[in-house]
Amino acid sequence: MRSTGLKLGIFTIFTIIVTFWLASVIGKLSPFDDSYLVNAEFTDATGILNGDPVKIAGVEIGKVVDFSVEEGQAVVEMEIEGDVEVPENAIADIKFLNLLGQRVINILQPKEPSSTMLAEGGTIPIENTRPALDLSVVFNNLRPLIQSTNPEEINTVSRAILKVFKGREGDLAGILGNVGELTKTLADRDQRLARLVEDLDKVTAILNGQESNLRTSLSEFTKFMESLVELTPLLEETIEDLTVASNKFGGLIERNRINIEEDLSDLATLLQIVNENLGPLDRIAKNLKEVLLSTARSQGYGKWYNLYLVNFCPEEGAFTGINLPDRLECRR
């Protein structure tokens, strides 16, 4: 009897220890770890719940333990690990943790961190916090735009897009792969995306007042897609012709590569000569105007020209009855 009671007591103690361990793991309880509490003031703490993580540079350093409203502002109380120091001018930013809507508070380091650290009961003021982004506001603003869209027009556009991409599954797979890389890049820029969504909220509010213009644009876009489908054979022929022309041009370049290289080399030599004689060429260009004016004036005195003969090389027997100078030198 005494042995059975002892076994029952050991089993009970073991069960309590395991239950406490599971509760600490699931509930992220750390009763034996040193920690301290700090507060953060937000204009909007939508979606924040007890137990939501607090992170610095992606590393979890605490959790939300309480939240309340004081003077119209949301005050979130956070439990921070004791070995983590948070500057007094740190920035608290509420972000989405996952697609289920769970939030996370990111503690961001300012450009010039303060030498003073937050202590027990310290507060991050509202000017150093960024409120949560409420996507429901964006969706509510998009609702009138979606309701004003004709489903039949959307179906027409979808069918036209399917016809355009029919038989081009490989290209579409490449496009989707690029989209995947793009989304991965965008995930690393969540702060910029948050501002983009805020701007999108403003844009959608403006678009709601342009309902008739949007319907007209969608109708014109539908006609454009239908025309594109009709022109698909012509576009394919054009692309094939461009491919053939490109191949022929490439062959022409390849067959005449040596001549082209020689021409380029001669051109380079010519340009080098011109560059080396820029001074004389510049003087010729400057004096050319005076030469042309002098020539024009000489015509004004009568129908004659004063010519200076530099070199004269008559063929033998070309002139009969004319005595040429004996010292005539012909430079050929």
Residue 37 has pLDDT above 80, yes or no: yes
What are the b/e assignments for 36-73, b being 16+ CB within 10 Å? bbbbbbbeebbbbeeebbbbbeeeebbbbeebeeeeee
For strand 73-81 and strand 59-70, is the pairing parallel, antiparallel, or unpaired?
Answer: antiparallel
pLDDT the model gives residue 77: 93
What pLDDT, in 10s, does the model give residues 208-220? 767 777 778 778 8
Summarize the confidence of residues 303-314 as an average pLDDT: 56
CB atoms within 10 A of CB 90: 22
**Quick one: pLDDT band at residue 136, thresholds 50, 70, 90?**
low
pLDDT the model gives residue 317: 57
What pLDDT, in 10s, does the model give residues 235-284? 788 888 888 888 888 888 888 888 888 888 888 888 888 777 777 777 77
- Range with the largest mean pLDDT of 129-143, 148-162, 173-187, 212-226: 212-226
206: exposed, middle or buried (Cβ count in 10 Å: 0-12, 13-18, 19+): exposed
Distance CA 86, CA 40 (A): 12
Task: Return the minimum-mean-pLDDT range out of 4-18, 124-138, 166-180, 249-263.
Answer: 166-180
Summarize the confidence of residues 27-38 as an average pLDDT: 69
| Of 279 and 168, the one with more pLDDT | 279
Q: The tokens of 42 are what? A: 């937000």
Task: Return the minimum-mean-pLDDT range out of 67-71, 229-233, 249-253, 328-332.
Answer: 328-332
| Mean pLDDT for the chain overall | 76
pLDDT the model gives residue 39: 92
pLDDT the model gives residue 31: 56
The answer to whether residues 157 and 225 touch, using CB atoms and an 8 Å cutoff, is yes
Task: Return the minimum-mean-pLDDT range out of 11-20, 71-80, 139-148, 316-325.
Answer: 316-325
Residue 67 has pLDDT above 60, yes or no: yes
pLDDT the model gives residue 149: 65
| Of 178 and 296, the one with more pLDDT | 178
**Quick one: pLDDT band at residue 64, thresholds 50, 70, 90?**
very high
Residue 107 CA: distances (Å) to CA of 116, 232, 269: 16, 54, 65
pLDDT the model gives residue 135: 63
| pTM of the predicted protein model | 0.38
